[in-house]
Structure 1
Amino acid sequence: MSADQGYREVPNRGLATVAIMAATVMQVLDTTIANVALPSMSGDLGASPDTINWVLTSYIVAAAIVTPMTGWLSDKFGRKELFLGSVVGFVFFSLLCGLAWSLETMVLFRLMQGVFGASIVPLSQLFLMDINPKERRGQAMAIWGAGIMVGPVVGPTLGGWLTDSYNWRWVFLINLPVGIVAFLGMAAFLPSIPKRIRGFDFFGFAMLSLGVGALQLMLDRGADADWFSSTEIWIETGLAVIGIWVFVVHTMSADRPFIDAKIFLDRNFAAALVFIFIIGVILLAGMALMPPMLSAIFGYPTVTTGMVMAPRGVGTMISMLAVGRLMRIVDPRKLIFVGMLLTAYSFNMMAGFTPQMDAWPIVSSGIVQGLGLGLVFVPISTMAFSTLNPSGLPDATALFTLVRNIGSSIGISAFAVMLTQNTQINHSELSAFINPFNPNLWIANPSAAMGDRTALSQVDGLVNIQAQMVSYVSDFKLMMLVTLSAIPLIFLLKSPKKSAGGAAAPAVHMD
């Protein structure tokens, strides 16, 4: 049974797509839009800089735990019903977040927002595959991917503008009109999918929730808790390892596990999970590093930072709109190869950043990176499910989203740690040359060479900027190497032409 047999005709595919993407962009924006509002939120809610981070942590952990349940919930309550209920719950708790009166209520409402928002992205991908025939799924995944990848770029800029121009509460209240439009459109145009009787493996779900939840908590709390010098981080790491290990063993041995292990036998899907993990690492990690770099080293305000980073989203949009059509005539694996090379080249460009440059290198490297990631994301998102049986798609799309999110969390945490450590090391090494015996210091700043405190403070500031820049460059070089190391995985992907014949790439059947 091919995946194309899951196609369902709808009265108006265009309006249905608009409604689906409105819900998707709304949820994706919310993962980053609140970050820049935290300082204003902290003052209004009477929270300290440390405790206000629970506004982000509660959302991330809740979404990570609930995302794998998407497949079972859609079978139990109906795919359309779950999608509509998720949007309603997400919008309702967005309203409550905008009305929150204390840190405790905000954390609770954000947690519930994460619970209801967790299924929106995998369900949106699932419905776009449902309402598009096989020959149009490349274009459908291009539209979906544009929303997924452009959202995190736009989020901080939009959040900063809303906070500066109105109030931090509008960061959440803006979801109301978007959510209402999405709900009405989906209620009118999405097809109803028959429910499926399916048992619930509570033990498997509990172990997966324990592992994923503890992992996300460790990654999000690590920087504040000073990583493995903290008992809390060791406990969370232990729980993550135990939960994930027991879940894997249970899944391989149970008769009816929470997630059917047969979907991992599909080579395209298994390889795509590795690819999307790496994309998650380099995509959001790279974007997470840029705003603090532009602020600390170049002195850009939030709005300027958003404008400088916006061309990255433009590059992504261009490549995604093109790749949707190119996939009909070009082997998707070739597009992925070109995309990975472009992405690696963009990091090579970023490795040449200096504190003295203007905005053009940032803009040009962002455009190249956007073009590259767009060429990778769409073919991977399409080929991942091309040979799976429709009954396995709900679990598969949920895992696809979960693995991408975990990759993003690991990437952000890992590169942030390396940035901090390298900055300290580089500062120590560079400052060793600031002494009265260095003739270059006498030429550049005689007052500092004679021990003037004001002059030494100025020199220390310059040294700190250089140390940070060298650390950012090191991170960008490592991202380039990670990207290049993933290219051989392309050979694991099967050509869709071979898959179409059925013999080369049989669909994975699941009871």
Structure 2
Amino acid sequence: MASPAADLPNVTVRHKWLLTFSVMAAMLMQVLDTTIANVALPHMQASLGATQDSISWVLTSYILASAVAIPLTGWLSERFGARMLFIGSVALFVVASILCGIATSLPEMVAFRLLQGVGGAFLGPLAQTVMLDINRPSDHPKAMSIYGMGVMIGPILGPILGGWLTENYDWRWVFLVNIPIGIACFAGLWLLLPRQATRRRSFDLAGWSMIALGLSALQLMLDRGPHVDWFGSTEIWVEAGLAVTGLWMFGVHMMTARRPLFPAGMMQDRNLVTGTLFMFVMGLVMMAAMALLPPMLQNLFGYPVLDTGVLLSARGVGVLIAMGIAGRITTLVDPRLLVGLGFAIMAGSLWMMTGWSLEMDWRPIVFTGFIQGLGLGLLFVPLNVLSFATLPGQYRTDAASLLNLSRNLGSSVGIAIVTALLARNLQVSHADIAATVTPYNLPVDPGMASALGAPGDMAMTALDAMVNRQAAMIAYLDDFHMMMFVALAAIPLLLLLRKPARKADDLLHMAME
């Protein structure tokens, strides 16, 4: 039986809901920027005088900086305090956003996006830590549901907001929109976030250098692969070798160093390690789907950018509903069951998507998106609660940075895999379909098309376009099949999670509410 006194927050604050709003606004600002710039890339390319290949560095630079900086969150938080790090990160992010909005060349944009990535890297882990610290343990499921809404809704709102700003104003507003949000966040954190004790903790330079090398090479490989024909390029082989070497050396270093980058006590927590694996899978499936659907809806089904965003927003509705439910019932049922149910629902929605066709209307898109959102919302809250359930409070910031890093890596790996499979399967499907196109199942002999002149050429072009569309649709369905199997394969990991002890006073508190 836990005593009522045990159900107290780590940090007592004034105006908790105002602070929560400031924290989540900072989190949402950072998550939005991971996707909001995507739709503006063609406009940025023309304005900055970049090529189609080089403009991708606007996205790559941000991802690289975030991946390298995230592991530093725990050390910086203890060395300078969570308050100063959080406020400084918001200020850096806003300043970098202003610089991105006024950039006049591609090198300037890449440099400013690197700066923005460093500032944004700490916002996710710190927001999660603050939400856990200022709420009682019995309220952690509700706190994680609020936090999860920012994480899940951001990637969905990003393309909608980015498309609207780009079409109605200018691509520079994709970055400048952060200014009013950032100023409000800065003011709220400055006034309401209390100071916390700092301590000198030795910095594991060797460990950070190894993981920075490994993550940088991995992110470069995943981002550059589609542009340079993957392992047909020497660049990818070099980056793959550096990634394997750096991450392998970091793993060995973590097991042998006296004071590793991530505290050894934290890495011995089974729930946290398993939760990190789950976060990787969730990031892989969630962001892979979000990367596939916009180009599919626009290129194959002909929906405009804003209409595409509206159709995909059904996923956000499902997430909001499921997180509200999960935040209420996580302490009443075994959270492992909710995680398993969430992955099962996601797999079911992906199975429904394998039945899509070019002749369908918008209703299957909205319905499957809503169901998938329910699955995501159901698993995110209990998964975070389970990851921190058996972890001592002093490890929260390091653990939050590890979970965020794992989810980001899963997103990068997932997008790279589905993109590569899409390109390969499109070629295979095109060859298979083209092999069945013969003079015997066509109204006109293709061999006679040249004799018809321009009308014959137009007929052959239309035929090739039809084959391309069908081949692309089959390639998308193959990706949906693959993601469905990944979601199902993650469910057995539930056996590694420990059920958190249920506190009697937690149940009493919920009953009183």
Which bin holds the TM-score, normalised by the shorter protein?
over 0.9
Residue 216 (structure 2) pairs with residue 213 (structure 1): yes
- Counterpart for residue 14 of structure 2: 11
From 456, 479, 487, the counterpart of 1:483: 487
What's the offset of the Cα at 1:441? Answer: 1.8
CA contact (8 A) 2:132 2:140 kept: yes
Alpha-carbon shift at residue 500 of structure 1 (Å): 9.4
Q: Does 1:441 align with 2:442?
A: yes
Instruction: Specify the alignment match of 2:126 in structure 1.
Output: 123
Report SS of the residue matched to 1:412: helix
1:464 correspondence with 2:497: no
Structure 2 counterparts to residues 250-265 of structure 1, below 5 A:
250-265=253-268
Per-residue deviation, 1:32: 0.4
| Letter of the 1:441 counterpart | L
Q: TM-score if structure 2 supplies the norm length?
A: 0.94
Distance change >3 Å, CA 5–CA 241, structure 1 → 2: farther
Q: State whether residues 7 and 138 of structure 2, in contact with CA within 8 Å, keep that contact through their aligned partners in structure 1.
A: no
- What does the per-residue CA deviation read over 1:373-427, in whole Å, with 9 as the maximum and x for residues that have no partner? 1101111111101111122111111010001000000000001100000000000
Percentage of identical aligned residues: 50
1:66 aligns with 2:105: no
Aligned partners of 1:15 and 1:349: how far apart in 2? 41
Q: 1:500 to 1:409 in 2, by over 3 A?
A: farther
Distance in 2 (CA, whole Å) between partners of 1:127 and 1:172 is 26
| Residue of structure 1 equivalent to 2:452 | none
Question: 2:374 is matched with which residue?
Answer: 371
Map 1:9-408 onto structure 2 (within 5 A). 9-408=12-411
Tell me how far apart the structure 2 counterparts of residues 336 and 57 of structure 1 sit (CA, whole Å): 32
SS at match of 2:389: coil
Secondary structure at the aligned position of 2:436 is classed as: coil
Q: CA deviation at 1:432?
A: 0.9
1:191 is paired with a residue whose SS is: coil
Name whichever of 286-295 and 331-340 sits farther off. Answer: 331-340
CA contact (8 A) 1:42 1:49 kept: yes
Question: Which letter maps to 2:493?
Answer: L
CA–CA distance in structure 2, aligned partners of residues 140 and 498 of structure 1: 17
1:413 maps to which residue? 416
Which has the higher mean CA deviation after the structures are superposed, 36-45 or 488-497? 488-497
Per-residue deviation, 1:4: 6.7
Letter paired with 2:143? A
Aligned residue type for 1:364: F
Where do 5+ consecutive residues of structure 1 fail to align? 502-511
Q: Which amino acid aligns with 2:226?
A: A
Q: 1:493: Cα distance to partner? A: 1.2
SS of residue matched to 1:432:
helix
Q: Which amino acid aligns with 2:218?
A: L
Contact 1:27 1:117 survives alignment (8 Å):
yes
* Local SS of the residue matching 1:288: helix
8 Å CA contact 2:144, 2:385 repeated in 1? yes
**Counterpart position of 2:509:** none
Say which SS state the counterpart of residue 36 (structure 2) adopts: coil
Aligned length: 496
| Structure 2 unmatched ranges of 5 or more | 450-455, 506-513
Alignment correspondent of 2:453: none
CA deviation map 1:100-148 (0-9, x unaligned): 0111111100000001110000000000000000011100100100110
Q: Which amino acid aligns with 1:275?
A: F
Q: Which of 262-271 and 178-187 deviates more?
A: 262-271
The question of whether the paired residues in 2 share the 8 Å contact of 1:3 and 1:386 is answered with: no
The CA distance in 1 between the partners of 2:163 and 2:18, in whole Å, is 30
Alpha-carbon distance in 1 for matches of 2:40, 2:307: 16
1:494 and 2:489 aligned? no
Q: Does 1:474 align with 2:495?
A: no
Shift of 1:453: 2.3
The alignment partner of 2:226 has SS state of: coil
Residues of 2 paired with 1:218 and 1:6: CA distance?
43
Contact 1:208 1:243 in 2 (8 A): yes
Counterpart contact for 1:3–1:387, Cα < 8 Å:
no
